Amino acid sequence: MSWGTELWDQFDSLDKHTQWGIDFLERYAKFVKERIEIEQNYAKQLRNLVKKYCPKRSSKDEEPRFTSCIAFFNILNELNDYAGQREVVAEEMAHRVYGELMRYAHDLKTERKMHLQEGRKAQQYLDMCWKQMDNSKKKFERECREAEKAQQSYERLDNDTNATKADVEKAKQQLNLRTHMADENKNEYAAQLQNFNGEQHKHFYVVIPQIYKQLQEMDERRTIKLSECYRGFADSERKVIPIISKCLEGMILAAKSVDERRDSQMVVDSFKSGFEPPGDFPFEDYSQHIYRTISDGTISASKQEGGKVDAKTTVGKAKGKLWLFGKKPKGPALEDFSHLPPEQRRKKLQQRIDELNRELQKESDQKEALNKMKDVYEKNPQMGDPGSLQPKLAETMNNIDRLRMEIHKNEAWLSEVEGKTGGRGDRRHSSDINHLVTQGRESPEGSYTDDANQEVRGPPQQHGHHSEFDDEFEDDDPLPAIGHCKAIYPFDGHNEGTLAMKEGEVLYIIEEDKGDGWTRARRQNGEEGYVPTSYIDVTLEKNSKGS
Which comes out higher in pLDDT, residue 95 or 453?
Answer: 95
Residue partners of 359: CB distance under 8 A and separation at least 6: 403
Would you put residue 274 in left (φ > 0), alpha (ψ -120 to 50) or beta? Answer: left
The interaxial angle of helices 241-256 and 67-92, nearest 10 deg, is 170
3-state SS of 398-457? Answer: HHHHHHHHHHHHHHHHHHHHHHHHHHHHHHHHHHHHCCCCCCCCCCCCCCCCCCHHHHHC
Query: In this structure, which amino acid lies at residue 178?
Result: R
Tell me the per-residue pLDDT of 198-244, one tens digit each, with 9 for 90 and over.
988 888 888 888 998 899 999 999 999 999 999 999 999 999 999 99
The Cα 75–Cα 250 span in angstroms is 7
User: Would the pLDDT of 119 be above 80?
Assistant: yes
Burial class (CB in 10 A: 0-12, 13-18, 19+), 534: exposed
Domain 3-56+63-263 and domain 483-540, same fold? Reply is no
pTM (2 d.p.): 0.51
Q: Compute the average pLDDT of residues 445-452.
A: 38
CA nearest to 403, candidates 461, 340, 352, 454? 352
What CATH number is given for 3-56+63-263 in this structure? 1.20.1270.60
Q: Is the pLDDT of residue 473 over 60?
A: no
244 secondary structure, DSSP code: H
State percent of the chain over pLDDT 70: 78
pLDDT(88) > 90:
yes
Tell me what pLDDT residue 290 has.
Answer: 67
Domain spans of the chain?
Answer: 3-56+63-263, 342-420, 483-540
| Per-residue pLDDT at 447 | 36
Backbone angles phi, psi at 224, to 5 degrees: -65, -40
Q: How many residues does the chain have?
A: 547
Q: What is the pLDDT of residue 305?
A: 42
Pairing of strands 536-540, 528-532: unpaired
- Averaged over 362-388, what is the pLDDT? 85
| Average pLDDT of the segment spanning 288-304 | 49
Report, at the CATH architecture level, how domain 342-420 is classified.
Answer: Orthogonal Bundle (1.10)
- For the chain, the average pLDDT equals 79
Lowest mean pLDDT among 151-160, 290-299, 407-416: 290-299
| CB-based contacts of 471, cutoff 8 Å, min separation 6 | none
Judged by average pLDDT, the poorest of 169-173, 204-208, 307-311, 360-364 is 307-311
Q: Which of 256-270, 318-332, 439-453 reaches the highest mean pLDDT?
A: 256-270
Homologous superfamily (CATH) of 483-540 is: SH3 Domains (2.30.30.40)
Contacts of 396 (CB under 8 A, 6+ apart): 363, 366, 367, 370
Sheet holding 528-532, edge to edge: 528-532, 518-522, 506-511, 483-487, 536-540
Asked if 518 and 491 count as a contact pair (C-beta separation under 8 A), the reply is: no
Mean pLDDT of 315-341: 53
> Would you place residue 253 in the very low, low, confident or very high pLDDT band (cuts 50, 70, 90)?
very high
Mean pLDDT confidence for 446-465: 37
- Region 503-515: mean pLDDT is 89
Q: Read off the pLDDT of residues 376-405 as tens digits, 9 standing for 90 and up.
A: 888 888 877 888 888 888 899 899 999 998
| Predicted confidence band of residue 466 (pLDDT cuts 50, 70, 90) | very low
26 or 496, which is more confident: 26
Mean pLDDT of 290-307: 46
Angle at 27 between CA 25 and CA 30, to 5 degrees: 115
